[in-house]
Amino acid sequence: MVSIRDLHQQLIQKDRSALEIAQAALQLTQALEPKLRSFLRLTEEHALAQAKRVDAKIAAGEEICLLAGIPMGIKDNLCTQGILTTCGSRILENFVPPFESTVTGRLTEAGAVMIGKTNLDEFAMGSSTENSAYQVTANPWDLARVPGGSSGGSAAAVAGGECVVSLGSDTGGSIRQPAALCGVVGLKPTYGLVSRYGLVAYASSLDQIGPFGRSVEDTAILLGAIAGHDPKDATSLKVDVPDYTQFLKPDLKGMKVGVILETFGEGLDEQVNQAVQGAIAQLKTLGAEIQEISCPRFRYGLPTYYIIAPSEASANLARYDGVKYGFRKPDADSLIDMYTQTRAEGFGVEVKRRIMIGTYVLSAGYYDAYYLKAQKARTLIKEDFEKAFESVDILVCPTTPTTAFKAGEKTDDPLSMYLSDLMTIPVNLAGLPGLSLPCGFDQQGLPIGLQIIGNVLREDQVLHAAYAYEQSTEWHEKQPSF
């Protein structure tokens, strides 16, 4: 497993050039893609041009950032100027953004090398990457199984070794859930820590961009590069961004860890339960004080989310009407007919389902009964977390109730699919940071994820706990052998 620091050392010692690293990553990805299908498109010309700029800096004796020359994948709902951005949807099959998202702009400034745009559930709506209009991504640990979603392409690309790190977005678990199913590290930052400018909106009050890595350190390095205030995003927080790697310490003496009782009930796979309980015991061995914590409203996260998120989606997706950009149905009889046919053909089944749910709950006569009540429930869930953090530093629980399921297994049962995000959704509703990292494997050799949740802007504590656990175990060293 090659880390960011390994590659950085190779570059500054001139053992390898950025161009050689980029070419190797592209070559490997081209060889693996027929099996994995992590990427919707490779950006070869763009990547080689970025790599050459890094080499020119090194040749001129200039200092380079840690991320300079590092191959990475970018989820295809992040706008990349002049490069096709589809959100995994037919309705944006020809959309080339005229502007750059803040996060990809910051990575370009740092010298990072984008090798391609990764696959996702259409408009980031899904838990398996099966809702993409273009292809189904495979899980590197078992090619017949899903990688999770909606950032399944980004998680699978890192797990499969196609790139060192990648970016995803997380609205209800879309970074942490695929990280767990693919056996990598995935972090959803505090809401507002990372700019959403240039992220194609799904549910604006929940969406957050975050990093994937093979290690906690790589994830921390990438977070540091994309975090920070952005005047282009009204929800961006004005906070100083520390060097997150300074918090990566090997012991947890004095740290108080709360175990969320409500996550260990019905529906949790026994092998997942055992692995997570083992991880909690390991945290205690590292010096943490363990106590049980009740978050009684945690279980209301799923129904609350599936009112709020579709409501925001129905408003955000109203802009896709075939008028200014994206797919347009030709030969329509009237303007209304063009709108109707464009949206009917452009959107997939899951996106239509969520638009209809959202439109219904926002409609006259139902707003108070559904949307307003869901917002009140969201406040109560947030209060549970606030109370918990009065007595502990971090919270832990399973990331997902089960390991990766087979492709096609849940496509006809949306509710069963939605339950995949049972443990992750409340974290988004409360705007908290959450991280998933590997904590074991089931009897079929599929990864299991431990979720670590922090208080607002306490990514330092989340990363500290994750790093200490990671370094005291060997789970992160295991790699798929497909």
Q: Check if 75 is active-site.
A: yes
Q: How far is CA 114 from CA 200, 223, 229, 350, 370, in A?
A: 18, 16, 23, 29, 42
The single residue of 89, 132, 150, 215 carrying the catalytic annotation is 150
Q: Is 57 a catalytic residue?
A: no
Q: Please count the CA atoms within 13 angstroms of the CA of 93 that sit on its side-chain side.
A: 13
Residue 434 and residue 454: Cα distance in Å, rounded? 6
Of residues 17, 57, 75, 236, which has the active-site annotation?
A: 75
Euclidean distance between CA atoms 359 and 366, whole angstroms: 10
| Known catalytic residue at 376 | no
Provide φ and ψ at 224, rounded to 5°. -60, -30
> What distance in Å separates the CA atoms of residue 437 and residue 219, rounded to the nearest whole number?
11
Q: Could you tell me which residues are beta bridge partners of residue 72?
A: 114, 165
- Is residue 478 within 8 A of residue 470, CB to CB? The reply is no
| Catalytic member of 127, 174, 236, 420 | 174
- 423 burial class (0-12, 13-18, 19+ CB within 10 angstroms)? buried
- 26 neighbors 42 (Cβ within 8 angstroms): yes
Q: Which residues are identified as catalytic?
A: 75, 150, 174
